[in-house]
Amino acid sequence: MLPTLQQPLRFEPFLRPMVWGGRRIARFLGKNVPPGTRCGESWEVSDHPLHASSLATATGYGITLHQLMEHHRAELFGPAAERHSVFPWLIKLLDADDWLSVQVHPDDVAVLSLCPSERAKTEAWYILDAEPTARIYAGLNPGIGPTELREALNAGKVDACLHAFTPKVGDCVYLPAGTVHAVGGGVLMAEIQQTSDATFRLFDWNRVDAQGKPRALHLDQGFASIHWNQGPIAPVASDHSDQQPLVRCPYFEIERVRWNATPSVGGANRLQALIVTDGYGRFANGEFVMPGDAWILPAALPPTPLALDTPLTGLLCTLP
């Protein structure tokens, strides 16, 4: 077990084939996706029962995030250690080459009765690449309630009920639990979310698998999870500044950062994560930093220089 967490931490990616996935996670971010695999998700940081991330850094290689939670929680979280028995974030890369289902995630109240083995799921998306054909659906259009949505689902016209826009690189989309949403048409993005895999599908675009069977829908649970007053959600576009706040919620605070000189990370006495979206560098211990990396910065990490080979852009996520 690690004697200290006074270093940045990076974990082995966990690649998940998905019917809606593509090859962008390999092509743009260099992940080791097997040939011919349509990879939808790369779980970069996870303490979820489905997958416990293991360290990929030279020091502590193979130690799981769950083990760090058991033995080094105070160093990970600082003063917030007593509030977190599970690591609070699931950090992913997503390639929505085809369409994700129209879906909704439960909030802290709904999950207790609808999916008690899981946790609530509020999330945020940051767009890394997008085709001109890409679309995001986020929030209900005005006047859409349970009756209107159910009629549209039965008619296969649910997209008419949802606010839609074409995403652009640098957009950030905040999706509180209870928001109906979907994405597809060729978009690569980073996702920061609560540690949960609770998803209720409302519509799956009439897709079938190789055996001609559709994926299961969860209409009752989904309707019970929807926040019907959650109207259209617009993205926060990049303002091209060196520091731009993007999301502030009870589960994470996200800002976009751009560094041209040697920055210092850590020293916040709070858990942070750095998701690299562009640029290259290295820490003093020799660990390389590159696009697609998600580095956990423990609360115990002292101010640590990051030597840059190129200007570096990323998302800095902080635990409130």
Q: Is 258 a catalytic residue?
A: no
Amino acid at 113: S
Count CB-CB contacts under 10 A for residue 32.
11
Query: Which is catalytic among the residues 10, 135, 201, 256?
Result: 201
Amino acid at 299: A
Cα torsion 183, 188, 193, 198 to 10°: value is 50
First to last CA, the chain: 27
What are residue 191's DSSP bridge partners? Answer: 92, 125
- In Å, how far are 13, 244, 284, 307, 312 from 260, measured between CA atoms? 27, 15, 17, 10, 7
Which two tokens mark 124?
């945020």
The answer to whether 129 and 93 are in contact (CB under 8 A) is no
CA distance 103 to 199: 7
CA distance 31 to 117: 30
Annotate 132-154 with DSSP letters as a single string: TT-EEEEEEPTT--HHHHHHHHH
CA-nearest of 294, 298, 9 to 128 is 294
Q: What are the residues whose beta carbons fall under 8 Å from the beta carbon of 229, sequence distance 6 or more?
A: none
**Which positions are annotated as active-site residues?**
201
